[in-house]
Homo-oligomer: A and B are copies of this chain.
Amino acid sequence: MTTFTSFADLRARCRDLPPGNPAAAQAIARREAELTKPPRSLGRLEEIVEWLGYWQGRNPPRLDRVDILVFAGNHGVTVQGVSAYPAEVTAQMVANFAAGGAAINSLARTAGANLRVEPLSLDRPTADFTQRPAMDEAEFVGAAAAGHDAVSPQADLVCLGEMGIGNTTAAAAIAAGLFGGGAKRWAGRGTGIDEAGLARKQAVIDRALGRHADALRDPLSIAAALGGRELAAILGAALAARHKGIPIVLDGFVSTAAVAPLAKLNGDGLRHALAGHVSAESGHRMLLEELKLSPVLDLHMRLGEGSGAAVAVLLLRAALACHTGTATFNEAQVSNKSVMPAR
């Protein structure tokens, strides 16, 4: 068990991150150049394989075990009417995950991934952050530790998803706290609120940003004051994965906002993270731009649950299959003599 006992503990772990393995990535790139196809003609698929090898420190990389971790939390701020669904849906959906009936269950099966769902004190919502910090330091680092411990060292890849009615409000508040621009820049329609709901959500976020102005000086304080347990757990899991040499795939706006403090604390903090997709939630594209993450998919999904990340796993499997399964020019006796200089 990991015990982060303080922001200072967690901050130190965020600042002291291991690098990847350039030799593995270079060996992968050398093989790519010998495969029977024009150089770089598989585009992003080739980059993905190099990225996997770089962070796994392995050539070829492996995707034998892919874990999808879905953290669930409840949010006191739902009393402000920021979501289209009632707060009890969080626990109902956790039961649906357990019964295998949610979209993420189908996607995990399709992607050949293990789904693990971690409900975090659902009977005890975080505080309404328009009134006080969502979590105090101990609660926040505890949730981060739970996420940290959910990452198995046996995993070759970890996808980070979430479930929590109200959590796009928390995500927007964190993004505003970290990157500025206020609620107008970051609040979107979540699961489907109307115009009045959106106005209410924006007002709630701006009120919270005012109330927690002191917290805005530090990324972890922002995440504690404005976030949620499932977001803290995602941050802890991202950190654990980095320390264990496991690349991660982010899901949507909430998953990305959850790990954003890591990037603020360490400029290289999210280099082991792939943005699985850009969601239809309006703040996500901007947040990815702030974090210099380029999504692999753009399918107008806005479900969460790790769903976009799970779909991205399919592309990772395709990329790896091309890398390991394609013959070299020599093996296949295909002419590699370009009749003019390649780009």
Please tell me if A2 contacts chain B, counting CB pairs below 8 Å.
Answer: no
Residue pair B38, A301 in contact (C-beta under 8 Å): no
Q: How far is the CB of A213 from chain B (nearest CB, A)?
A: 30
Q: Which of B43, B85, B105, B324 contacts A335 (CB 8 A)?
A: B85
Residue of B nearest to A277 (CB): B43
Q: Which of B81, B192, B310, B318 contacts A110 (CB 8 A)?
A: B318
Inter-chain contacts of A298 with B (CB < 8 A): 298
Q: Which of B103, B315, B333 contacts A42 (CB 8 A)?
A: B103
Residue pair A193, B36 in contact (C-beta under 8 Å): no
Please tell me if A31 contacts chain B, counting CB pairs below 8 Å.
Answer: no
Instruction: For the complex, give the distance between the alpha carbons of A310 and B35 in Å.
Output: 18
Assuming the contacts A93-B36, A326-B106, asked whether A339 and B83 have C-beta atoms less than 8 A apart, the reply is yes
Please tell me if A196 contacts chain B, counting CB pairs below 8 Å.
Answer: yes
Residue pair B326, A43 in contact (C-beta under 8 Å): no
Assuming the contacts A43-B301, A315-B314, A325-B106, asked whether A101 and B331 have C-beta atoms less than 8 A apart, the reply is yes
Q: Which of B36, B93, B106, B302 contacts A43 (CB 8 A)?
A: B302
Protomer copies: 2
Of listed A324, A325, A339, residue having the most chain B CB within 10 A: A339
Residue of B nearest to A303 (CB): B41
Instruction: For the complex, give the distance between the alpha carbons of A136 and B234 in Å.
Output: 63
Q: How far is the CB of A29 from chain B (nearest CB, A)?
A: 16
Of listed A44, A83, A109, A322, residue having the most chain B CB within 10 A: A322
Interface residues of A in 76-123 (CB under 8 A from B): 81, 83-86, 88-89, 92-93, 95-96, 99, 101-103, 105-107, 109-111
Inter-chain contacts of A196 with B (CB < 8 A): 340
Interface residues of A in 285-343 (CB under 8 A from B): 296-303, 307, 310-311, 314-315, 317-318, 321-322, 324-327, 331-335, 337-343
Of listed A331, A340, A341, residue having the most chain B CB within 10 A: A340
Please tell me if A45 contacts chain B, counting CB pairs below 8 Å.
Answer: yes
Q: Which of B39, B107, B314, B326 contacts A103 (CB 8 A)?
A: B326
Please tell me if A37 contacts chain B, counting CB pairs below 8 Å.
Answer: yes
Residue pair B101, A327 in contact (C-beta under 8 Å): yes
Q: Can you offer 24 A-B residue contacts whose CB atoms are under 8 A?
A: A36-B96, A36-B101, A36-B103, A38-B84, A41-B302, A42-B301, A45-B301, A84-B338, A86-B339, A89-B335, A92-B335, A93-B334, A95-B333, A101-B327, A101-B332, A102-B332, A103-B322, A103-B326, A106-B318, A106-B322, A110-B317, A110-B318, A111-B318, A314-B317
Q: Which 6 pairs from chain A and chain B are nearest by CB?
A: A101-B327, A43-B300, A106-B325, A44-B299, A38-B191, A314-B314
Task: Apart from A89-B334, A103-B322, A297-B297, list 16 A-B contacts with CB within 8 A.
Answer: A36-B101, A37-B103, A38-B191, A38-B302, A38-B303, A41-B301, A41-B302, A41-B303, A84-B342, A85-B335, A99-B327, A99-B332, A101-B331, A106-B326, A107-B321, A314-B315
